[in-house]
Structure 1
């Protein structure tokens, strides 16, 4: 089925998503589609087509945007989130224990469904996984338990530098807030049974991944989609990035905010021109089913510690897709 095929009547979410994914291959017809979509109210007048820079947020870190990840505060918070011991993050008998060990559970989703890991014939190259939006590398290292080669990519150079420090020496100090201005120093560490030599990190843009990456067997994108200026461009790239049979693991709370993603590029969380609610999961199913089979959906809770008596509990929607 063509990415430019007309949607079924009333399927405005599908038409909007297909329009965003049209990309360079449809350059000759894209302007007409954009005009038609704007007339029907599927895209606002300032919405960007996939592959352009319109609508990209330049908001400071105080209100969101990529700059939020370049601070020492963000590094400390993510080191704690990715590597903190469960008893340090949630030191109480009460509380959502099932939301701990987020990075480990993400890696297990990839491992469970990647058929390349079950190929013992030796006729193909060793499986390769990419963790897009890897932050400080927690899930990237967990993927290395099963995958012989893992690449972590993040837009934040500060996060990539931190992840490389974790690779080089296996640990890094961070400060956790206890109460007010009171903090405690802790150590983030990669598990000793993980081969850090299997992992590498590089800075990169999820909306413009380089062709030099070739094709891979698994792509993990955890809590990433709703932090991208152009999530449709990332999804379109995943089609060529994955080998046939490869798995795309999308995990997202769908926390769409204009500071990160121009509203015209949201995949859901709004009402269409007919007044119907558009849900992100439905949009993903509409656009990815062209080249992928949905093999699992799951609820993936996570817990972020702000201080010892305040936490952010979230529940991301996980979707595992296999490339046709």
Structure 2
């Protein structure tokens, strides 16, 4: 899939993810970047910050003080991690996302469009969450990368070892999720923690069926069909790679399409400590 065909390279996606990652944007203009409605599911807001905060709350053993944000998008979770880690590496497959994260890292004034209805939109300025200072932002290194090629990035000097790793809503968008999980296992320090957040939305346009971790029925000879749940396969894989599960919860998030249409997603969020 080339960049021209990648939905994550479009201006619309960049605008959408800026709203997701920087939910305080628009307050100055009196515009809600995501949810303006009464009785809205506000617990689904600040998803990137909650993912980063979950890793921090699990208190990984500090060996080198480094964290990694795999599939960092436009950087909201990366800056959250930089509050407590000495250095954060953050990469995404999308060039457009990485470029925007780098722009948010500087003092640059960035505006984006909040969709209202069809061609109608409000323009707001991107705003960092409280406490994200220039010093904190300077601790993050953003770059483009492929989550299925972690060993190659280590060999190229782009990645090292880490005390903490997060990967949110990416696993089921990878060509080879098993390659990614094995790669992660090879770069986590002992006592380090990996947080994997995913809705397990397997689609053949992203992942060929033979590479799905679950979401299908399996039948052995002489037996009835049994459903294969992705969360069970993930547990087996992570345990085989030397991790123990230390956290499990359902984590909601919301993405705005326009003022009356949203994606409400409930991802499985698990924490894994390296033995």
TM-score normalised according to structure 1 size: 0.76
- Judge conservation of contact 2:23–2:45 (CA < 8 Å) in 1: no
With over 3 angstroms needed to count, the CA separation of the structure-2 counterparts of 1:88 and 1:73, relative to structure 1, is closer
- The one-character-per-residue Cα deviations of 1:145-168 (angstroms, maximum 9, x if unpaired) are 111211111011111111100011
Note if contact 2:93-2:146 (Cα within 8 Å) is conserved in structure 1: yes
Q: Does 1:104 find its partner at 2:42?
A: no
> Which sections of structure 2, spanning at least 5 residues, go unmatched?
26-31
2:148 aligned residue: 207
Deviations 1:283-315 (CA, angstroms, capped at 9, x unpaired): 001111121000010110000011111111110
Q: C-alpha separation between the residues in 1 aligned to 2:234 and 2:7?
A: 27
Q: Which moved more, 1:188-197 or 1:265-274?
A: 188-197
Cα shift readout 1:168-226 (whole Å, capped 9, x = no counterpart) = 12652111110111011011222352221111101111000212322110110000100
Q: 1:170·1:189 contact (CA, 8 Å) conserved in 2? A: no
Q: Which residue of the partner structure matches residue 289 of structure 1?
A: 239
SS in 2 for 1:164: helix
1:132 and 2:70 correspond? yes
| Counterpart residue number, 2:10 | 71
User: Which residue of 2 is the match for residue 280 of structure 1?
Assistant: 230
Aligned counterparts of 1:253 and 1:270: Cα–Cα separation in 2: 15
- Larger of the two Rg values belongs to structure: 1
Matched, 1:185 2:123: yes
Conserved 8 A contact 2:73-2:92: yes
Q: Residue 61 of structure 2 aligns to a residue in which SS?
A: helix
CA distance in 1, matches of 2:268, 2:18: 23
Per-residue CA deviation, residues 215-269 of structure 1 (Å, 9 max, x unaligned), is: 1101100001001000000001111110111111000001110111111101111
How does the TM-score come out when normalised to structure 2? 0.89
Matched, 1:90 2:32: no
Q: CA deviation at 1:71?
A: 1.0
Q: CA deviation at 1:321?
A: 0.2
Matching residue within 238, 255, 258 for 1:307: 258
Contact 1:59 1:259 in 2 (8 A): no
- Considering fraction of residues, name the structure with more helix: 1
Cα RMSD over matched residues?
A: 1.7
Post-superposition CA distance 1:71-91 (Å, at most 9, x none): 111111111111123843111
Q: CA deviation at 1:273?
A: 2.9
| 1:59 Cα deviation from its structure 2 partner | 10
8 Å contact 1:170–1:190 — kept in the other structure? no
Q: In the alignment, does 2:93 pair up with 1:155?
A: yes
Listed as ranges, the matches of 1:1-324 within 5 Å are: 61=5, 67-85=6-24, 87-116=32-61, 124-125=63-64, 127-169=65-107, 171-191=109-129, 193-194=131-132, 195-209=136-150, 210-211=153-154, 212=157, 213-274=159-220, 275-290=225-240, 291-324=242-275
Contact map agreement 2:60 2:164 (CA 8 A) in 1? no
Q: Which moved more, 1:244-253 or 1:189-198?
A: 189-198
Q: Separation in 2 of the partners of 1:316 and 1:171?
A: 32
